[in-house]
């Protein structure tokens, strides 16, 4: 049954246009093509990433956090009350009636929720790990994209496997990572990215896949660096880097991605061959990513507007204070001159 299911899943009419098939991707005349079986390498790479991350966070991220002044606040632990603990874990973290006095319950649940919140150090270490990977991946992606060839190159192979392994490691560690408000969207993004990378590798869409990964890595390291400075309390650095991130994100994911990449994968191919399942599958995943880009862009623009508005407000208030201080100084100086008999 598994053999029949595999044969049905990999049949050529699903993944290739009419007239093409798996035989066209066999190595010949010195040309090497991507193979689906290569993707298994990403699993041990994902596990290696989990190990490297632990070493990195302890030996690099933690000393860096101390150097940048990341400070931890002492959190009071909630006393162990079995009935409240059971209610907290099984029912809700925001209770209304539990049998205890309202003030006692509010205090206990507030402290208990604080215990579950990730520390600044944990957030900083996670952000520094992602910043390091996204920056190095962006540089590697540029090298892989510039390296033009008609055959599969070792640089392209390792770039694909490392990217796929990294996103696999993010799925493996999702339970222990900091849970954010866009947790569900992040899971959808990671799954869609893994499917895109895998599919583009199997059908030899190497250049398109490389370009898609490069576009995503181009802005992510700005975001993670902004988070690092935010956790360290460097507000101005965080705000300015975030504005740069917002600009790069909008240009790459709301302009370049839909009007360049999706155009060449959605519009151009149908001028050469009729649509097929693989065509819809690939572009469907791209549209999922684009919907997520729009969702995140709205959040990013709101934050950027809030930052710019606050800056203008502070500048205006500072100007008003300077004008008032100047007027007070002139009045005081005039009184002093009159007292001294100076006209």
Convert 74-90 to b/e letters by CB count within 10 Å (16 or more is b).
Answer: eeeebeebeebeebbee
Give the Cα-Cα-Cα angle 144, 193, 184 (nearest 5 degrees). Answer: 145
For residue 65, what are its two tokens?
Answer: 């956090």
Question: Does residue 293 or residue 71 have the better pLDDT?
Answer: 293
- Has residue 83 got a pLDDT over 80? no
For residue 19, what pLDDT band results from cuts at 50, 70 and 90?
confident
pLDDT given at position 153: 84
Closest CA to 252 of 214, 223, 281, 284: 214
Q: Once rounded to an integer, what is the mean pLDDT over residues 286-307?
A: 91
Count the Cβ atoms, other than its own, within 10 Å of residue 145.
Answer: 17
d(CA 285, CA 6): 22
Q: Once rounded to an integer, what is the mean pLDDT over residues 155-174?
A: 92
d(CA 68, CA 106): 35
d(CA 155, CA 159): 6
d(CA 289, CA 167): 15
Q: Over the Cα atoms of the chain, what is R_g?
A: 28
- What are the backbone dihedrals phi and psi of residue 31, each rounded to the nearest 5 degrees, phi first? -95, 130
Is residue 214 within 8 Å of residue 141, measured between CB atoms?
A: yes
For residue 229, what are its two tokens?
Answer: 């400075």
What is the dihedral sign for C-alpha 214, 218, 221, 227?
negative
pLDDT given at position 93: 59
d(CA 57, CA 63): 9
Q: Once rounded to an integer, what is the mean pLDDT over residues 284-288?
A: 94
pLDDT given at position 48: 96
For residue 221, what are its two tokens?
Answer: 């390291």
Q: Where are the domains of the chain?
A: 47-65+120-318, 76-116
pLDDT given at position 316: 44
Is residue 145 within 8 Å of residue 210, measured between CB atoms?
A: yes
pLDDT given at position 111: 61
Report the chain's mean pLDDT, rounded to a whole number: 82
Which H/E stretch holds residue 313? helix 277-339
């Amino acid at each position: 049954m598994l053999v029949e299911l595999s044969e049905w899943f990999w049949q050529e009419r699903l993944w290739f246009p009419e007239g093409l098939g798996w035989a066209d991707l066999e190595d010949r005349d010195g040309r090497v093509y991507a193979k689906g079986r290569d993707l298994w390498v990403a699993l041990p790479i994902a596990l290696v990433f989990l190990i490297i991350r632990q070493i990195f966070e302890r030996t690099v991220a933690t000393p860096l956090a101390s150097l940048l002044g990341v400070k931890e606040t002492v959190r009071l632990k909630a006393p162990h009350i079995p009935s409240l603990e059971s209610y907290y874990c099984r029912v809700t973290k925001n209770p209304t009636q539990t049998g205890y006095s309202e003030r006692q319950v509010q205090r206990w649940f507030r402290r208990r929720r604080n215990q579950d919140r990730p520390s600044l150090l944990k957030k900083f270490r996670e952000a520094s790990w992602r910043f390091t990977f996204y920056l190095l991946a962006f540089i590697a992606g540029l090298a892989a994209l510039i390296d033009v060839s008609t055959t599969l190159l070792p640089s392209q192979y390792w770039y694909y496997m490392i990217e796929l392994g990294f996103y696999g490691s993010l799925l493996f560690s999702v339970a222990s990572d900091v849970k954010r408000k866009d947790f569900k969207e992040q899971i959808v993004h990671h799954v869609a990215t893994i499917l895109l990378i895998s599919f583009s590798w199997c059908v030899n869409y190497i250049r398109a896949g490389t370009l898609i990964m490069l576009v995503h890595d181009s802005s992510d390291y700005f975001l993670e660096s902004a988070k690092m400075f935010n956790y360290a309390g460097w507000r101005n650095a965080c705000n300015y880097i975030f504005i740069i991130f917002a600009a790069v994100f909008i240009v790459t994911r709301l302009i370049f991605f839909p009007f360049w990449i999706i155009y060449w994968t959605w519009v151009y191919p149908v001028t050469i061959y009729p649509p097929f399942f693989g065509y819809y599958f690939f572009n469907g995943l791209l549209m999922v990513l684009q919907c997520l880009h729009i969702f995140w862009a709205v959040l990013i623009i709101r934050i950027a507007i809030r930052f710019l508005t606050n800056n203008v407000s502070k500048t205006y208030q500072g100007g008003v204070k300077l004008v008032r201080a100047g007027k007070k100084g002139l009045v005081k100086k005039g009184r002093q001159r009159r007292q001294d008999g100076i006209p």
